[in-house]
Chain A
């Protein structure tokens, strides 16, 4: 079946270092969403990418959607302790008319102050 893979599973960085998580889909996606889950919290929507090659920025976060719309990445510049959490990418299953999202396994980011 359709799969969304995310790497790495864990990343420990020193505060101020950069961080990147990568997301790969087994199928072409109409769109991809990114969510952040703080420790003990719930997933919170960050952004959606729709167009091939799209790049969006939110302050220190840069999101990219691949040209083939099968991969995506999230890059955080100069991490801060507030960036700690698990980052998930998610893509719709099939035609996307059920709302069903296939989530990647998540990348858990730890930031050492």
Chain B
């Protein structure tokens, strides 16, 4: 039973399109995250939700909009996709928002914008 799952695994799309990535965790965790990993493997946090409340909102273009319908789900919608959005997007979760908790990562969504 997968702890943190993401769909789709691969996403290839044209510039200017709108796309969504979905994430679900079955660990009963309170906190979920979206990370972007670029081609140099640098991992940067984008957003975090704690019990459906947005608690981390990094300097990310407002074309990116997260949504958490409940604490087990965190989706990421991207409008007007650009070439620079090509990356691997990881969802993660942790028991609480306390930094002492380990984070569990999903398998990632590789987004390619053409």
Contact = CB atoms under 8 A, between A and B. Distances in A.
A55 interface: no
Contacts of A48: 100, 102
A65 to B, nearest CB: 14
Interface stretch (A18-26, A30-38, A56-64, A72-80): A30-38
Contact of B99 (A31, A41, A44): A31
B105 A30 contact: no
Interface string B16-52: 0000000000000001010000001111110010100
Contact of A97 (B44, B98, B106, B107): B98
Interface string A83-113: 0001010001000111111010110100000
A55 B56 CA distance: 31
Interface residues of A, number: 24
A41 B55 CA distance: 27
A43 interface: yes
B99 A105 contact: no
B86 interface: no
16 contacts: A33-B103, A37-B41, A43-B43, A45-B103, A92-B99, A97-B97, A98-B48, A98-B55, A98-B97, A98-B99, A99-B48, A99-B97, A100-B48, A103-B42, A106-B41, A106-B42
